Amino acid sequence: MRRRLSGGGQRPAARYSALSLLRHGLTGRDWPPAWTHHDLAPSYDVVIIGGGVHGLATAYYLAANHGIRNVAVLEKSYIGGGASGRNTAIIRSNYLTPEGVRFYNRSLTLYQRLAAELNFNVMFEQRGHLTLAHNDASLRTMRWRAEVNKLEGVDSEVIGPAEIKKRAPYLDVSEEPRFPILGALYHPPGGIVRHDAVVWGYARGADAHGVHIHQGTTLLGIDVADGRVRGVATSRGPIATPVVVNCTAGWSSTVAAMAGVELPITTFPLQAAVTEPVKFFLDPVIVSGTLHVYVSQTARGELVLGASVDPYPAYSTRGSLEFTEEVAAHVLELFPSLADLRVLRQWAGLCDMTPDFSPILGKTPVEGFHVDVGWGTYGFKAGPVSGEAMAQLVATGETPAIIKTFDLVRFEDGRLVGEKGAASVGH
């Protein structure tokens, strides 16, 4: 049975004692819901489309930072069921452009304090991040990134094979591989987070502040009249609202088209896989752009493996044998001793790629219709900063400085923010 949380803005966690946690954990009974079910209200001050990390963070910061609580988050499936639950949860801020570094670093700072802010363990482990260079061109880009990072106060440096070996002893740094490792961009603050926990933490926090989270609610249309948003049509009925924030991934251009806004986005699947768990041996996240692969080890011991986006635009979230074969071959070039490890699962998420590999954030030509989209393969790490900035935009009507450069009109003005060089892998 679903129960309404009492106490208005009271945080649900405050109602647990250590003893009740133990009782719930052992019996599995009577867990109070972390967020509540609501009927659809006829109107909201703000409607957010997409119940992933971006949508829920925006809702949370609207309520927590600006006192705007009459907010609905519409999610057509279950929260975190889209790109937020399908990424490899890598957090880092070692980007290439000063704007990108500043932006992602604010997110990393928010991630560092997120567990305390939400009173929810998001399991952020800052175990370091190594981007390997296998040729002179990559080494040059790593040096470039390291210098931009340092200028922005971000801890990043290029290290050689001996230092790499100390940080990841099982990596093959010998001369033997087809692509020997010449060096790496080492980024100590980088790491991994538990993506479900981030989504659930924001959802619980937003709910405790009075936000309505509507799962199983599909957006059918956006009502625009005289150049401004009036409301939305949903599978559960219409809602009147002056503000709609598009926080979707995969369907961002479809949603924008409902408001008559065209986005320069192409959608590609990005696959990932997880192996059986093994004893802990890998501290940092390892990325190789040349081999198109990234590897991290979870607290449970599984290896999480990822690669480039699929080579064709699609909306499929199915895995492919080509991916498994390629990712396995490339991981084994880096870690030959993993040859007997079994892949347990693979999946795909959808990535909305923009021409410059930077997101699109802010206002659109339709008044009241805002976008937080175009994340390509960088979305999850940007959830907190995007939520914070989009909430500020909605609350004040002013675009915050930290996202100004990522506006939609940059594609008309030719002000691209090229971040392809900071991709985990070549896309």
Residue 183 CB, nearest distance to ligand PYC (Å)? 19
Instruction: Select the span of 63-71, 85-93, 193-201, 396-404 touching ligand PYC (CB under 6 A).
Output: 85-93
* Binding range to ligand PYC, per CB under 6 A, among 84-92, 297-305, 329-337, 411-419: 84-92
Candidates 86-94, 104-112, 254-262, 315-323; binding stretch for ligand PYC (CB under 6 A): 86-94
Residue 88 or 149: the one with the smaller Cβ distance to ligand PYC is 88
Q: How many residues bind ligand PYC (CB under 6 A)?
A: 8
**Shortest separation between residue 118's beta carbon and ligand PYC, angstroms:** 22
Rounded alpha-carbon distances, angstroms, from residue 270 to 41, 82, 217:
36, 12, 25
CB atoms within 10 A of CB 422: 26
Residue type at 220? L
What is the spatial distance between Cα 196 and Cα 238, in angstroms, rounded to a whole number?
A: 30
**Structure tokens given for 64:** 């927590």
As measured in angstroms, the least distance from the Cβ of 276 to ligand PYC is: 21
| Residue number with CB closer to ligand PYC (148 or 208) | 148
* List 61, 124, 294, 323, residue binding ligand PYC (CB under 6 A): 294
Q: Does 92 bind ligand PYC (CB under 6 A)?
A: yes
Rounded to the nearest whole angstrom, what is the least distance from the CB of residue 423 to ligand PYC in the complex? 6
Closest CA to 124 of 191, 193, 187: 193
Query: How far is it, in rounded angstroms, from Cα 352 to Cα 338?
Result: 32
Q: What is the rounded distance in angstroms from the CA atom of residue 48 to the CA atom of residue 341?
A: 42
**Least Cβ distance, residue 427 to ligand PYC (angstroms):** 9
Residues of span 38-67 touching ligand PYC by CB under 6 A: none
Distance of closest approach, residue 87 Cβ to ligand PYC, in angstroms: 6
Kindly state whether residue 265 participates in binding ligand PYC, applying the rule CB under 6 A: no
- Examine residue 306 and tell whether it contacts ligand PYC (CB under 6 A): yes
- Residue of 63, 90, 192, 243 that binds ligand PYC (CB under 6 A): 90
With binding defined as CB under 6 A, does residue 358 bind ligand PYC? Answer: no
The residue (of 368 and 374) whose beta carbon lies closer to ligand PYC is: 374
Q: How far is the CB of 198 from ligand PYC (least distance, A)?
A: 15
Strand partners, 268: 351
Instruction: Pick from 105, 252, 358, 377 the residue near ligand PYC by CB under 6 A.
Output: 377
**Binding of ligand PYC by 189 (CB under 6 A):** no
Closest C-alpha to 380, from 30, 52, 21, 1: 52
Give the binding site for ligand PYC (CB under 6 A). 88, 90, 92, 294, 306, 377-378, 424
